Amino acid sequence: MKAVILAGGRGTRLAEETLLRPKPLVDIDRKPMLWHIMAIYSQFGINDFVICCGYKGEMIRDYFLRYYSNTADLTVDLGKNSIEYHHVPAEPWRVTMVDTGLDTQTGGRLRRVREHIGDETFMMTYGDAVADVNVDDLLEHHRNEGREATVTAVAPSGRFGALSLNGNAVDDFLEKPDGDHQLVSGGFFVLEPTVLDRIPGDETLWEREPLEGLAKDGQLSAYRHPGFWQCMDTVRDREVLEEVAVNGAPWLSIKGS
């Protein structure tokens, strides 16, 4: 099974980082966000990836082209003009990188990689969020539901401190409340290739006509994920992810949890 990752956006809300690199290459605990997302799927035997590149996509290509030399111990013999690699920590990943255009919308990017997806069920997610989602359970849910698409539904935490008032007196304060319990799309989709027929062109937002049409037609299922989920839209989000990662990233030990 293949996993498609949308990695072509400009990431303007994280401009402090994305002026220099695409958002999926922003590091979390010394590894790019893109690596963390791929590692989630790899825990469940999904090692065939299609990366939808766009903004600074050449940097994503360069990251994988230089993967061996940047991660392995090596000996360079200048006299023989040779390189010997030692203890190569390479993951069993097959990575297809496709230039899907600089200004193409999310649906259009998905449509542009159709030839690399084939005619089988596939995974799809965004290049800026991680979760300790059990991909095996997600896939089983999709198959049991028998719909064209499944979206992982999450309840993100609140961004601001919450006040509980008794008259004018504050009788409780929560620094990181659970939010309003409203479920939102957390990415981590399971899709049938027929969904691609709902994307007319580059200007199509996946989150608008395709998803709205699937919902209207009764072809969109929700897989409720009550565990960890965090996106990386802002500098604060990146700092939260960094703190979680250095203290034991829950998305990297899903099967053992």
- DSSP labels for 37-100? HHHHHHTTT--EEEEEE-TTHHHHHHHHHTHHHHHSEEEEETTTTEEEEES------EEEEEE-
Contact between residue 193 and residue 120 where contact means Cβ atoms under 8 Å apart? yes
Whether 106 maps to a domain, the answer reads yes
Q: How far is CA 195 from the centre of its chain?
A: 19
Whether 123 maps to a domain, the answer reads yes
The lowest-confidence range among 48-57, 84-93, 197-206 is 84-93
Instruction: Please compute the mean of the pLDDT values over residues 37-65 and round it to a whole number.
Output: 97
Q: What is the pLDDT of residue 159?
A: 61
CATH number, residue 25:
3.90.550.10
**Which tens digit of pLDDT belongs to each residue from 160-170?**
555 556 665 55
DSSP string, 235-246: HHHHHHHHHHHH
Whether 227 maps to a domain, the answer reads yes
Q: What is the pLDDT of residue 11?
A: 87
Q: What 3-state class would DSSP assign to 232?
A: coil
Q: How far is CA 205 from the centre of its chain?
A: 17
Whether 102 maps to a domain, the answer reads yes
Whether 117 maps to a domain, the answer reads yes
Whether 25 maps to a domain, the answer reads yes
Which residues lie closer than 8 Å to 87 by C-beta, 6 or more apart? 72, 73
Instruction: Please compute the mean of the pLDDT values over residues 4-11 and round it to a whole number.
Output: 94
Instruction: Please compute the mean of the pLDDT values over residues 216-231 and round it to a whole number.
Output: 94
Q: What is the pLDDT of residue 149?
A: 95
Contact between residue 183 and residue 222 where contact means Cβ atoms under 8 Å apart? yes
Q: What percent of the chain has pLDDT over 90?
A: 78
Measured from the Cβ of residue 234, the count of other Cβ atoms closer than 10 Å reads 15
Please report which residue ranges of the chain form alpha helices under DSSP H: 15-18, 33-42, 57-65, 67-71, 106-112, 114-117, 135-145, 209-216, 235-246
Q: List b or e across 138-172, with b for residues whose CB sees 16 or more CB atoms inside 10 angstroms.
A: bbebbeebebbbbbbbbbbeeeeeeeeeeeeeeee
Whether 257 maps to a domain, the answer reads no
Whether 101 maps to a domain, the answer reads yes
Q: What is the pLDDT of residue 33?
A: 97
Instruction: Please compute the mean of the pLDDT values over residues 233-249 and round it to a whole number.
Output: 94
Instruction: Please compute the mean of the pLDDT values over residues 21-38 and round it to a whole number.
Output: 96
Domains: count for the chain? 1
Phi, psi for residue 165 in degrees, rounded to 5: -105, 145
Range of the domain at 136: 2-252
